[in-house]
């Protein structure tokens, strides 16, 4: 059973003016599709691995044969990360976290603005291509981490709650080299409802495998 590209949960233009339609089409239809294609190609001789949900696959990279591990790490991580990322963006602009997630953020970081500042600093600190994450560890504590390339926090035993793609393909058409402006725009389109759902779940059900 092959992995497939999930549909966007909104129109390509739904996030404008913060993320433009052209970027969304390129990012979803081309870049994400390439990760799916590469993952399927890497696993063509390992159907037992293809049966795993992609998030389980990247959690269990130690079970992947050494000869294809890098390709699975990159393709599987890219698929899992992007499948989550689309859900963490919302056309309902300028919302805020509520409930247990809001309480946990305030307890861990002081208040929402301090959290945003620390997360922004993490996103801007990524050298080259990678991601910034708010994750929950095995003790249920929140922390901010970054990962290079398409590495997934799931591979480190962490549960993603919020993630931001800072690869240039995520923003270059609109923002060119102005990553700070892209990160600032991100805060207008966060799907806090989905982030709260992830925080409340015992497992990071971060993507879909159709």
Tokens of 80: 């899992």
Contact by Cβ (8 Å): 72, 22:
no
In the three-class reduction of DSSP (H, G, I as helix; E, B as strand; rest coil), residue 126 is classed as: coil
What's the pLDDT band for 133 if we cut at 50, 70, 90?
Answer: very high
Decide if pLDDT at 210 tops 50.
Answer: no
CA 167 – CA 115 distance, rounded (Å): 22
Q: Over the stretch 48-63, which tens digit does the pLDDT of each residue have?
A: 999 999 999 999 999 9
Contact by Cβ (8 Å): 81, 150:
yes
Strand partners, 145: 133
Q: Over the stretch 152-198, which tens digit does the pLDDT of each residue have?
A: 999 999 999 999 999 999 999 999 999 999 999 999 999 999 999 99
What's the pLDDT band for 205 if we cut at 50, 70, 90?
Answer: very low
* Whole-number average pLDDT of the chain: 95
Q: Over the stretch 71-82, which tens digit does the pLDDT of each residue have?
A: 999 999 999 999
Domains annotated on the chain, with CATH: 20-210 (3.55.40.20)
User: Which residues are annotated binding-site positions for Mn(2+)?
Assistant: 27, 82, 165, 169
What's the pLDDT band for 1 if we cut at 50, 70, 90?
Answer: low
What's the pLDDT band for 201 if we cut at 50, 70, 90?
Answer: confident
* Average of per-residue pLDDT across 114-140: 97
Percent of the chain with pLDDT over 70: 95
pLDDT at 48: 94
Of 31, 60, 29, 34, which is closest to residue 46 (Cα–Cα)? 60
Measured on CA atoms in the order 11, 17, 23, 27, is the torsion positive or negative? negative
CA 138 – CA 158 distance, rounded (Å): 7
From residue 155, alpha-carbon distances to 52, 123, 150 in Å are: 14, 19, 11
Decide if pLDDT at 203 tops 80.
Answer: no
pLDDT at 202: 58
The strand ranges marked E within the chain are: 130-136, 142-148, 159-165
User: Which residues are annotated binding-site positions?
Assistant: 27, 82, 165, 169
Of 16, 9, 28, which is closest to residue 189 (Cα–Cα)? 16
CA 166 – CA 95 distance, rounded (Å): 22
């Amino acid at each position: 059973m092959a992995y497939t590209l999930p549909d966007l949960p909104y129109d390509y233009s739904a996030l404008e003016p913060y993320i433009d339609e052209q970027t969304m089409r390129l990012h979803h239809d081309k870049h994400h599709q390439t990760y799916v294609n590469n993952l399927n190609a890497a696993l063509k001789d390992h159907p037992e691995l293809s049966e795993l949900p992609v998030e389980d696959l990247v959690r269990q990279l130690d079970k992947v044969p050494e000869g294809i591990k890098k390709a699975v790490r990159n393709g599987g991580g890219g698929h899992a990360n992007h499948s989550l990322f689309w859900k963490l963006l919302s056309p309902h602009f300028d919302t805020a976290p509520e409930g247990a997630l809001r309480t946990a953020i305030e307890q861990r970081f002081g208040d929402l603005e301090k959290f945003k500042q620390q997360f922004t600093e993490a996103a801007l600190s990524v050298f080259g291509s990678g991601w910034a994450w708010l994750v929950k560890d095995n003790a249920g504590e929140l922390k901010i981490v970054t990962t290079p390339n398409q590495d997934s926090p799931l591979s480190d035993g962490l549960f993603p709650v919020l993630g931001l793609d800072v690869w240039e393909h995520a923003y270059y058409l609109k923002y060119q080299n102005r990553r700070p402006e892209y990160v600032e725009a991100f805060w207008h389109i966060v799907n806090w409802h989905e982030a709260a759902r992830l925080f409340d779940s015992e497992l990071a059900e971060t993507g879909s495998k159709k």
